[in-house]
Structure 1
Amino acid sequence: MKRITFLLAIFLGTLSWAQSNINDLLAAGIDDAQRFTNDYLAPVSEGAIYSISGSWYNTADAKPLGGFEISIIGNLTGFKNKDDKKAFTLNTADYENLQFTDGSTSKLVSTALGDIEGINVVVTDGNVFSETFELPSGLASEDFNFLPSGYLQASVGLIKGTELKARFLPKINTDDASISLYGFGIQHDFTKHLPADKVLPVAISAVIGYTHFDASYDFTDTSVVAGQDQRLEMDINSWVFQAVVSTRLPVINFYGGLGYLTGKSETNVLGTYVVTSGPFQTTYTDPFSVSANASGVTANIGTKLKLGFFRLHADYTIAEFNNLSVGVNFGFR
C-alpha cells in the first residue's frame, strides 16, 4: 500500500493484510475468515480508539467569552509491552475448515499489532482438495510499536465558564486510500461560579468529547483476488467523560484528569471477490464486517507553557493503551 503520510501508513497499514491474505482467508469460507479477521484486527482497532479520543484539554481554566485557542495535536499510543494485545490463541475447534499444518489444535498467532511469523495453516474439505498458506503477522514485525494520530483542534469561550471545542483532520487521499477525522466537545469550569474565582490557585472542570474517524483502502487494482470494487472501510466512534483540575499561573501550569472512555470500531470488507483457489471456490459480495469495542478508565497528567499568544503542552495518559500527547497552540486570552 502506498504510504503518503506516516499517519496514513500506520492506520491503513494494519489493514494491508488484505493484499496478501484475503484470498487465503476467504478460501477458508466466510465464517472462518470473519472469525480470524475479528480476532486479528480487534487489538489495533481498540488501540486506535484510545489514540484518537484524548487530548481534549490542556487546562481546567475555561476561556472567557471570546477567548479562543487553535492547536495542532499529535499523539503516540504505545503497545510495545502489551503482549496480550499482540497475539491471540487460535483454536482449530472454533473453525470449520482451518487446521495447523503441524497438527496442533491451538497455538498463539499474531494480531495486527504482533510479530509472530511462520505460522502455516491448511484449508481442506476433508477429502481431496486443500490449500496451505501462512497467517499474517503485524506491525511489531516491522518495528512499529505505537499508533500515531493527529488533528487540528479549536476552542472558544462562551459565558459562565463554558467552552466549546472542535477537532478536525481534513480528508487525506491517495490513489487507493483515505482517512479523515472530526469531533466536538464541551468543557465547563465549575470554579467560575465561585465568588473567589479570580484568586483561586486552581480550576476544576468537566469535559465531554466525541470523536469520529474513518478510513478506507481500495485494493481492486492489486489483482490479489479477482473481482470488482474491493475495499476495506473502517469507522470509529468514541466518547470521553473527564474531570480536570489545573493550576492557574501566568506562564507554566500543570493539569491532570480522570475519566472514562467508550468507543466502537467497525471494519467492513466490501466489493466482489472471486475465490479461485482452495476447496471452496465461489464468489462473495460484501462478504463480512468485524467490530471491536473499547472502554475503561483513563488518567492523565500534563504541563502547559504559555508565552503570550503562543503555547506548548504535553501530557501522558495511563489507560488500557497509554498515550503521549504533544500540542502547539495559538490563542487569545
Structure 2
Amino acid sequence: MKKITTALFLCAGLMSNAQENINDLLAAGVNDAQRFTQDYLSPAGDGLMYGMNNGWFNSARVKPFLGFEISLIVNGSLIKDGKKSFVLDTSRYENLQFSDGSISKEVSTALGDIEGIEVFVDGGQPGTLDDAVFRLPSGLASEHINFIPTAVLQASIGLIKHTEVKVRLFPKTSYDDAAMTYYGFGVQHELSAWLPADKLLPVAVSGLISYSHLNGEYDFTETEVIAGENQRIQTKADTWMFGLIASTKLPVINFYGSIGYLAGKSDTDLLGTYVVEQGPFQSETIVDPFSVDSKVSGARVTLGTKLKLGFFRINADYTMAAFDSFNLGINFGFR
C-alpha cells in the first residue's frame, strides 16, 4: 500500500516502484540504469505535465474589476495503452540481458502492468554466483490505477482592461518520506470585449497564458533498499500553456471550449551515495548516479460546461491531447 500511496502523492516521479529495484538496476552499471529509467519514467512525467495544466479556465468571460473566484480543481489524466509499455532492446545496453535469451521484449513503464520479466547481468566470473538476476519493475496499472490524479487550489481576480490574473497553489505537503510543492500563475484577456458589438455577441473569446511548476522529493534512505547515505529522488517539472477560449454568455448554464498548445520539461534526479551489492560492479560506491528528463509539446482541445448558482459554481470538462483527461472544478466567486 505504501508503494501506491507514495506514487500517487509524488505523481511526478512515480518512482517508488523503480526505487525497490535500484539495487538491481545499478548492478547493470550507471549507463544501463539510466537508459532503462529514462524509458520507464518518461510516460509518467509526460502524463503529469499534461494533467497539471488542466482547469485553468471555465469561461472565456473574464471577471470584472476586483471580481474574484476561489476554486478547488481535481483532475485525472487517463493512461492510454501505448503509454504503458516500451520495447527494451538489449543491443542498446552494455550489460543487461533477458534471462530467456530474447534480444528485445515489451516491458512495463511506470504506468504499465507487465510483470514477471526476468533479466540478468553477467558477473564476469565462471558460474552464476556473481550474476545479478532480478525482475524488472511494473507500474501503476498493476495496482489497477489507470489515471494520474492531480488537485490544486486556484484564485482568480479581475483587473482593468478586460484582464484576469490567476494563481494556483498546492503548498508544501509531506507524507512519510515524500514531499511535494506546486504553484502556477496565468493571465487571461478577453479579446471580444474590444469589439464594438461585444454586448450583442452570444459568445465571448479570450486568450490565456499560464505557467506551472512542481517539485517533488522522496527520501528512501531509511528503507535500506541499498547500502549508502542520503538516498533520495527529486523531481521538477515546468510547463507553459497557451490557449484560445470561447464560451457562451448565458446567466446560469454555459458551455466553453478551447484550443491550445502545451510545452514542458520534467527532470528526475537519483541523488545520494549507493554501494552496489551484486554483479560486475559489486562493492563500487556511486554518488548521484544519474538524471533523466522528459519533454512534451503538443496541441490540446477542451470542451466543458459550467453551472452558476449565485456565489457557487461548478464546472466539468474533458481535454483531448496526448493524455486525455477529465476535470472537475468547485468554485466560489463574487461578481
Contact 1:210/1:237 (<8 A) preserved: yes
Matched, 1:76 2:76: yes
CA shift in 2, pair 1:6/1:222, >3 Å: closer
SS at match of 1:321: coil
Count the aligned residue pairs: 331
Which letter maps to 2:105?
A: K
CA shift in 2, pair 1:5/1:99, >3 Å: closer
Which letter maps to 1:286?
A: D
CA shift in 2, pair 1:222/1:141, >3 Å: same
Partner of 2:21: 21
* Correspondences of 1:1-333 after superposition (within 5 Å): 2=2, 8-9=8-9, 11=11, 14-79=14-79, 82-128=80-126, 129-281=130-282, 282-333=284-335
CA shift in 2, pair 1:273/1:31, >3 Å: same
Contact 1:19/1:222 (<8 A) preserved: no
SS at match of 2:76: strand
Contact 2:316/2:328 (<8 A) preserved: yes
SS at match of 1:191: helix
SS at match of 1:53: coil
Q: Render the CA deviation track for 1:298-320: whole Å, top value 9, x for unaligned.
A: 00100011111110000000000
Contact 1:97/1:125 (<8 A) preserved: no
Between the aligned partners of 1:285 and 1:232, the Cα distance in structure 2 is 13
Q: Which is further off, 193-202 or 217-226?
A: 193-202
Contact 1:180/1:215 (<8 A) preserved: yes
Q: TM-score, normalised on structure 1? A: 0.96
Between the aligned partners of 1:182 and 1:133, the Cα distance in structure 2 is 39
Which letter maps to 1:276?
A: E
Which letter maps to 1:115?
A: D
Between the aligned partners of 1:287 and 1:6, the Cα distance in structure 2 is 22
Between the aligned partners of 2:91 and 2:73, the Cα distance in structure 1 is 46
Q: Which is further off, 201-210 or 272-281?
A: 272-281
CA shift in 2, pair 1:275/1:216, >3 Å: same
SS at match of 2:160: coil
CA drift of 1:196 comes to 2.6
Identity over the aligned pairs, expressed in percent?
Answer: 58
Contact 1:315/1:325 (<8 A) preserved: yes
SS at match of 2:51: helix
CA drift of 1:130 comes to 1.3
Between the aligned partners of 1:142 and 1:5, the Cα distance in structure 2 is 11
Between the aligned partners of 2:297 and 2:287, the Cα distance in structure 1 is 32
Q: Which is further off, 14-23 or 221-230?
A: 14-23
CA shift in 2, pair 1:138/1:304, >3 Å: same
Unmatched 5+ residue regions in structure 2? none
CA drift of 1:15 comes to 0.9
Quote the RMSD (CA, aligned, Å). Answer: 1.6
Q: Which is further off, 274-283 or 113-122?
A: 274-283
Which letter maps to 2:312?
A: F
SS at match of 1:271: strand
CA shift in 2, pair 1:5/1:69, >3 Å: farther
CA drift of 1:238 comes to 0.6
Which letter maps to 1:37?
A: T
CA drift of 1:278 comes to 1.6
Which letter maps to 1:318?
A: M
Unmatched 5+ residue regions in structure 1? none
Contact 2:12/2:237 (<8 A) preserved: no
Between the aligned partners of 2:150 and 2:137, the Cα distance in structure 1 is 24
Between the aligned partners of 1:96 and 1:7, the Cα distance in structure 2 is 29
Between the aligned partners of 2:7 and 2:155, the Cα distance in structure 1 is 21
